[in-house]
Structure 1
Amino acid sequence: MKLRPSRILRELRNGQNSTVIKLNLGDPRIVELAGLAGASAVWLCNEHVPNDWLNLEHQIRAAKLYDMDSIVRVNKGGYSEYVKPFECDATGIMVPHVTSAEEARNVVDMVRCRPLGSKALDAGNMDGFFCQVPLEEYAQHCNTEKFVILQIESPEALEVVEEIAAVPGYDMLLFGAGDFSHRIGKLGQATHPEVMAARKRVHAAAVKHGKYPAVASLFGQREMLENEEGVRVFTLGADVVEMGNAFRRMVGDFGGVNAAGGSDSVYKSTK
């Protein structure tokens, strides 16, 4: 009985890029559509989305049907919020609004097994085949085939991003352009020079300290992100955005009236 390895970590270790689709909708069939499209992973959310744990487990199970990884953005909170997605057999977690090296170390301690951390062990869920694999194998798998993404989303976090990047035991840094632009009074301006400079600083810190930089959107800058900033994990779009844009095109092509009074979504496709 073999525990499932991470597809994203396999791709990164082989020098390949990884593709992620962000899902706000909870239907596991949408996860399957992302799998049919060939995505490396789906980004599921417990921070902003009214999901429940049982449905989250169904979404994760659907991802595994297509050898897709599942990344769960967690609620900020105690260790259960961070450990439980892994126990549902998510491949990775994303921790939002990380602001200090101390917080990064605490996350690592909560979700990694010895010698990296002091994770609370159960192994009685799908991630441990319901106690049907040896604990030693389970612990090693937690440390080598599960990954942790930390989000840098504020000017305060940016000021100490090099310290955060230097913390051992996690895998990726993801710059949150949306919240960062909001915090500096440039709401939604992901390509504003100040926002781009912050993103480049985060990515440089990640690369320097052996972490993978990841992005939430291409912003039409794939060549710069990939060749200049070393990004290898790309979120290509979100279900609600792409569906909303598709529905608008359908109605517009037919000649109907756009319900929002415009021809385009306020959120542009990132393809």
Structure 2
Amino acid sequence: MIEKLKRDELVTCLKINITDNIPTEIAAMCGVDCVWLDMEHVAADYSQVNKAMLGAKMHGTEVIVRTPRGAYSNLTRPLEMDASGVMVPHVMSYEDAKEVVYYTKFHPIGRRPLDGGNADGMYCMLDQDSYLKYSNEEKLTIIQIEDVEALEDLDKIAALEGIDMLFFGPADFSQSVGCPENIWNEKTLEARKKVVEAAKAHGKYAGTVGGTGNVKELYDMGFRFVNLGADVVALSSYFGNIISEVKKLGL
């Protein structure tokens, strides 16, 4: 994933809500670059996330974990399980972003608690200098810009060392400007543009959600990480279509 981003290529992602390894394995076997495991909205514990992560990685697919807000360990544990990065929701200000960096990057950028005895440190078999360097350079710290309050500090946030990607969340942003779920309203579209421009101006990656119908447009705008769908949407669409077709038969 990092190499594709460095080559200015599109990284494809699918969001996983079902707390099991099977959806991640299926997504990985279909060839997606990355899966996004959600701990903000999903009642998943770390053992379930770890199992799902292994399911993706065994097929060569990388994993981003969207963390819950709260204790610093919510930010560090997915990294220590060897996630490719963490996505932190609802970053509201420059100070908020600074705190995220403080707990997700090691010295000299931040003060992420140092252990090395887990999967990302090869269970203490990776020497400390290599561990620190690899973690700071190869593990993505992704912050979500999904509230109108964050726009005031957007340029300062994008310039902050240790922030690797700005990820624009249109659904929550539309709510913050008084247009819940109308992600095509003028203020939300303008904010999306500002996020990608800020990321580009400071040499950071930009991500957002999209679909097959607009992924080319998003890429041309400057987004290089696009979530294209979710497991629960796929299942509801497939199951719903089956029932609809049977009902048409009048049986």
CA drift of 1:65 comes to: 0.8
TM-score, normalised via structure 2 length: 0.95
The answer to whether structure 1 residue 65 and structure 2 residue 58 are counterparts is yes
2:13 to 20, 34, 39: 20
Q: In the alignment, which residue of structure 2 is the partner of 1:247?
A: 239
Q: In the alignment, which residue of structure 2 is the partner of 1:173?
A: 166
The answer as to whether partners of 1:190 and 1:219 remain within 8 angstroms in 2 is no
The answer as to whether partners of 1:191 and 1:219 remain within 8 angstroms in 2 is no
Greater than 3 Å deviation, 4+ residue runs: none
The answer to whether structure 1 residue 236 and structure 2 residue 236 are counterparts is no
Specify the code of the residue in structure 2 equivalent to 1:199. Answer: R
Gaps of 5+ in 2: none
Q: How many residues align?
A: 249
Whole-angstrom CA distance in 1 between matches of 2:211 and 2:144: 16
Q: Percent identity?
A: 37
CA drift of 1:50 comes to: 0.6
Whole-angstrom CA distance in 2 between matches of 1:19 and 1:223: 12
Specify the code of the residue in structure 2 equivalent to 1:98. Answer: V
The answer as to whether partners of 2:17 and 2:38 remain within 8 angstroms in 1 is yes
Where do residues 101-250 of structure 1 align in structure 2 (5 Å cutoff)? 101-218=94-211, 220-227=213-220, 229-250=221-242
Whole-angstrom CA distance in 2 between matches of 1:66 and 1:130: 22
CA drift of 1:161 comes to: 1.1
Whole-angstrom CA distance in 2 between matches of 1:256 and 1:63: 38
The answer as to whether partners of 1:218 and 1:236 remain within 8 angstroms in 2 is yes
Whose helix proportion is higher, 1 or 2? Answer: 2
The answer as to whether partners of 1:153 and 1:176 remain within 8 angstroms in 2 is yes
Whole-angstrom CA distance in 1 between matches of 2:71 and 2:125: 27
Whole-angstrom CA distance in 2 between matches of 1:224 and 1:253: 33
Write out per-residue CA displacement over residues 138-176 of structure 1, whole angstroms, 9 at most, x where no aligned residue: 111111111011001111112221111111112111111
Whole-angstrom CA distance in 1 between matches of 2:114 and 2:71: 15
Specify the code of the residue in structure 1 equivalent to 2:99. Answer: N
Whole-angstrom CA distance in 2 between matches of 1:244 and 1:134: 47
How large is the Cα RMSD of the aligned pairs?
1.4
CA drift of 1:224 comes to: 2.5
Whole-angstrom CA distance in 2 between matches of 1:124 and 1:69: 21
Specify the code of the residue in structure 1 equivalent to 2:156. Answer: E
Specify the code of the residue in structure 1 equivalent to 2:170. Answer: A
The answer as to whether partners of 2:212 and 2:228 remain within 8 angstroms in 1 is no
Specify the code of the residue in structure 2 equivalent to 1:145. Answer: E
Q: 1:121 to 1:19 in 2, by over 3 A?
A: same
